[in-house]
Amino acid sequence: MRYPWIDWVRFLAALAVLCEHVRGMVFVEYSALPGDHKTLAVLGFYYVTRLGHEAYLLFFVLSGFLVGGKLLDRVMAKTHCSLEYAIDRFTRIYTVLLPALIFTGIVTAVLSKDLGATTFLGNLVGLQGVVTEYYGGNLPLWTLSFETWFYVVGGSLAHVLQTRRISPLVAVLLLISMGVFVKLGALMLFCWLIGAASWYARPRNKSFMAVVLGFCLMSVGSVAMQFSRGTVSIDVERYRFWLAIEPCMPLLFAFGVGLVLQQLLLWKTGNRVANRIDNVGSIAAASSYSLYLIHYPILLLLVGLGWRRSAEISVNSMGVFAALLLGNLFFAWLFFLGFESNTKSVRNFVRRRLVTSTAAN
C-alpha cells in the first residue's frame, strides 16, 4: 500500500545524502572559500547540503514507521508470519544490495584497490562497522548494517510475541543482534523503534500543532547535531551547551519526524494538482534505495580519476554540481530499472522456491 506524500520524504532524504556527498566533492570546505564568497546565501547552501546525517536518521525512523509499525500491527492482529516477513525483508535488501556491492567492486578494481573478499562477505551479511569496513569505501553502506539488524530484531521479537516462546533459532538471532548493537551502538535502534511506535500510535485527526511541534523538534535536533559534528568552518567550542546535550538530539529529531509522518498519513490527495505532485514523488522515490547505494562509488571513481574541487562558488561550479546531481539520479534510475524494479518478481520467485522445497520435504 502506498501513502500520499511519504514517497516525497523518501526521495528528499536520499537527495539530501546525495547533495552532501556531491557538494563535498565539488567544493572545498566553507572555511577554505575566498572571503568575498562567504555570503549568507553560500552559508545557507553549505548548511542545506550538510544534512546527510539527519537524512540517515529520517530513513531509520521511516523504516521503523512503515516496517516496524506494520509488523506490530500484524502481531497484535495475530496475522504475523515469520517466513513471509523474512522473505519480504530479504528480497527488499538483497535485490539491490548484491548488485550494488558488485558495482562497488568493479569501481574498486578500476581504481586498482584491494577488493577484499572478506570485506565483501561481511557487507553482504550486514556486519560492516562490526567486523569489517565498508566495502570499497562505499560510505552509505554503514546504514545497511543497522537496517539489516533492525529487521532481525523486529522479526525475532514479533515471532516471540506471536508464539509466546523463544525457539533456539530466535535465541541465537537475538544474542547475535545484542552483540552487533553493542558494537554499533543502540541509538539508531531507538530511532527505529520511535518510528514503529509513531505508526502504532498514529492519530485519527489532523493536528496543525503536531506538525509545528514536529518541525520544531527536528530543527532543534538538527542544529544541535550540526554544531556537534566535526567542522573546520566554525569554532564549535563556543557552543558547548549544544555539545553537552547532543547525545539525546537524534532521539529528539526522531520524535519530530514521527510526529510529522503521522500527520502526513492524514493528508490525502484530494485534487488533480495534489495527485500529480504525489505521483511525481512516487516516481522519484522509486529509485531512492538504488540512488542511496550506488552514488558514492560513482563519486569515488571520479575522484580516483583525478577530480579536483573548486575553491569558488561560480556559475560554472554550480553547473557542475547540478550536472553531477542529475547524472547520479539518471544512473540510479537505470540501476533501478535493472534491479530494484524487479524486487516483487524476485520475492515471488523466492516464495515459490521455498514452497516447492517445503512440499518436497
Q: How many angstroms separate the CA atoms of 300 and 298, rounded?
A: 5
CA pair distance 61, 198, nearest whole angstrom: 9
Domain boundaries, the chain: 6-360
Grid cell digits, residue 163: 508464539
pLDDT in the model for residue 236: 57
pLDDT at position 72 is 94
What is the enclosing helix (H) or strand (E) of 83? helix 82-110
What pTM value is reported for the model? Answer: 0.91
Calpha distance 294→258 (Å, rounded): 28
Retrieve residue 111's grid coordinates: 581504481
Q: Alpha-carbon distance 136 to 293, whole Å?
A: 12
Instruction: State residue 98's pLDDT score.
Output: 97
pLDDT for res 234? 59
Alpha carbons 258 and 62: distance in angstroms, whole number: 8
CB 143 within 8 A of CB 58: no
Distance CA 51, CA 223 (A): 10
> What burial letters (b/e) apply to 31-68, b meaning 16+ CB within 10 Å?
eebeeeeeeeeeeebbeebbbbbbbbbbbbbbbbbbbb
Cα 211 from Cα 67, distance rounded (Å): 22
Instruction: Check residue 245 and give its pLDDT.
Output: 66
Tell which residue, 88, 212, 97, has the closest CA to residue 151.
Answer: 88
The pLDDT value recorded for residue 359 is 57
Q: Do 33 and 312 meet the contact criterion of CB atoms below 8 Å apart?
A: yes
pLDDT in tens, the chain (361 residues): 667 689 999 999 999 999 999 999 999 988 888 888 888 999 899 999 999 999 999 999 999 999 999 999 999 999 999 999 999 999 999 999 999 999 999 999 998 888 788 999 999 999 999 999 999 999 999 999 999 999 999 999 999 999 999 999 999 999 999 999 999 999 999 999 999 999 999 999 999 999 999 999 999 999 888 877 666 555 556 655 655 566 788 999 999 999 999 999 988 777 788 788 888 888 889 999 999 999 999 999 998 888 889 888 999 999 999 999 999 999 999 999 999 999 999 999 999 988 776 655 5
Q: Residue 249: its pLDDT value, please?
A: 87
In angstroms, the CA 218 to CA 12 distance is 15
Give the pLDDT confidence score for residue 34 in this predicted structure: 87
The secondary structure of the chain in percent helix, strand, coil, rounded to multiples of 5, reads 80, 0, 20
Which residues pair with residue 50 across a beta bridge? none
